[in-house]
Structure 1
Amino acid sequence: MLLTSHAVVLPGLLQDRIDDLAQAFLQPAQKIDFSIPPGEPALVAADSVSWRIFKNPISLFIGGITAVLLEFGEPRVRDGVWQHSSFRTDPLKRLQRTGLAAMVTVYGPRSRAEAMIASVVRRHDRVAGKTREGEAYHANDPVLLDWVQATADFGFTEAYHAYVRPLASTERASLFVEAFPAARLYGAAGAPASQEQFDALFERMKSRLVASPVIFEFLEIMTRAPILPTPARPLQRVLVKAAVELLPGWMRARLELGSPWSLNTVERALVRTMAIASDRLILPSFPAVQACRRLGLPDMYLYK
Structure 2
Amino acid sequence: MSALDEIAQVAWARLPASPLSGGKVDYRSPRGDVGFFGPGSMAWRVHANPIALAVGGVAAVILELAEPRVRTGVWEHSIFRTDPLARMQRTGEATLITTYGPTRAAEARIAMVTRMHERVFGTTPEGQAFTALDPELMTWVHLTAGWGFVTAYDRYVERLGAAEIDRYYAEGGRLGRAFGAPEPPGSAAEVAAWFDRMRPMLRPNPIIGEFLGIVARTSPLGLAGRALQPLVVEAAIDLVPEDIRDALGLSSRAVRLGVAEFVLGGLGSAARRSPPPVVRDAYARIGLTPYQFR
TM over 0.5: yes
Alignment of 1:148-167 (within 5 A): 148-167=141-160
Q: In the alignment, what sits opposite 1:295?
A: 286
* Greater displacement, 162-171 / 273-282: 273-282
Alignment of 1:169-184 (within 5 A): 169-184=162-177
Matched, 1:188 2:181: yes
- 2:92 & 2:282 partners in 1: Cα distance? 16
Tell me which of 214, 223, 235 is aligned to 2:216: 223
TM-score normalised according to structure 1 size: 0.90
Q: CA deviation at 1:226?
A: 3.4
Q: In the alignment, what sits opposite 1:75?
A: 68
Aligned CA distance change for structure 1 residues 168 and 20 (closer, same or farther; 3 Å): closer
Q: In the alignment, what sits opposite 1:268?
A: 261
Aligned CA distance change for structure 1 residues 159 and 18 (closer, same or farther; 3 Å): closer
User: Could you say what secondary structure the match of 1:137 adopts?
Assistant: strand
- 1:218 & 1:262 partners in 2: Cα distance? 22
Instruction: Check the 8 A contact 1:9/1:282 in 2, yes or no.
Output: no
- 1:261 & 1:247 partners in 2: Cα distance? 15
- 2:245 & 2:68 partners in 1: Cα distance? 16
Matched, 1:146 2:139: yes
Instruction: Check the 8 A contact 2:27/2:101 in 1, yes or no.
Output: yes
Q: CA deviation at 1:65?
A: 0.4
Q: In the alignment, what sits opposite 1:120?
A: 113
Q: Which amino acid aligns with 1:23?
A: A
Q: CA deviation at 1:19?
A: 4.7
Instruction: Check the 8 A contact 2:9/2:274 in 1, yes or no.
Output: no
Matched, 1:33 2:33: no
**Sequence identity of aligned pairs in percent?**
39
Tell me which of 234, 237, 244 is aligned to 1:241: 234
* Alignment RMSD: 2.1
User: Could you say what secondary structure the match of 2:122 adopts?
Assistant: strand
Tell me which of 92, 104, 108 is aligned to 1:99: 92
- 2:4 & 2:269 partners in 1: Cα distance? 14
Q: Which amino acid aligns with 2:288?
A: L
Aligned CA distance change for structure 1 residues 191 and 161 (closer, same or farther; 3 Å): same
Q: Which amino acid aligns with 2:14?
A: A
Instruction: Check the 8 A contact 1:157/1:172 in 2, yes or no.
Output: yes
Alignment of 1:17-28 (within 5 A): 19=9, 22-28=12-18
Deviations along 1:226-262, one digit per CA (max 9) or x if unpaired, are 3222144221101111111111110100111124487
Q: CA deviation at 1:268?
A: 1.7
> What 5-or-longer segments of structure 2 have no aligned partner?
none
Query: Structure 1 runs of 4+ off > 4 angstroms?
Result: 17-21
- 1:91 & 1:9 partners in 2: Cα distance? 26
> What 5-or-longer segments of structure 1 have no aligned partner?
3-7
User: Could you say what secondary structure the match of 1:129 adopts?
Assistant: strand
Tell me which of 122, 132, 137 is aligned to 2:125: 132
Report the count of equivalent residues. 291
Q: In the alignment, what sits opposite 2:198?
A: 205
